Amino acid sequence: MATFAYGRVSTADQNVDNQRLEIEAAGHQVDFWFADTVSGKTSATQRPQFAAMLAQIRNGETLVVSKLDRLGRDAQDVGATVKLLASRKIAVIVLQLGKQELTSPAGKMMLAMLAAVAEMERDLLVERTHAGLQRAKGEGKVLGRPRKTTHEQRAEIIAKYAAGDSVSALARAYDVSRANILGVVKPAS
């Protein structure tokens, strides 16, 4: 029976070398290696290389990953992925959890607890981010991308649009996109 390994990184400037080294250092002889460069917010089955691995791995073989979050985007996705693999009698080993095999009863319990903690950590991160944004707004900081036009230019654009200038002509004149001009003359409510 073959051993498969899967790694994932979020951006193109990262690589899976450390994950590969961790798996090999743990003593796993990997027959097939799959790796994605995709956001952790993408469910496991929507990741191209993970889907390719699922198509190739046979019932009764083994999948090794370095960390739990490689198996899904949240507790529900990780659980669904492990259930899918367990239904095919594929052993799932997560190095982060020691030698615990996730498809065993004890592994399932540990998986549920760890996935819930990981999801809580992500939720807390989102809360902290929102709190920081609210604080910054309260301090008067302008958030988002800098505007491409000045206040005076926006007033000119509105006046010229009202006088009959087209959106395309205004976009060319101010060297901005049509969407930018539309945002000035027809702001969202």
3-state secondary structure the chain: CCEEEEEEECCCCCCCHHHHHHHHHCCCCCCEEEEEECCCCCCHHHCHHHHHHHHHCCCCCEEEECCHHHHCCCHHHHHHHHHHHHHCCCEEEEHHHCCCECCCHHHHHHHHHHHHHHHHHHHHHHHHHHHHHHHHHHCCCCCCCCCCCCHHHHHHHHHHHHCCCCHHHHHHHHCCCHHHHHHHHCCCC
- Is residue 64 within 8 A of residue 95, CB to CB? The reply is yes
* Residues forming the active site: 10
Place of tokens 């095919």: 88
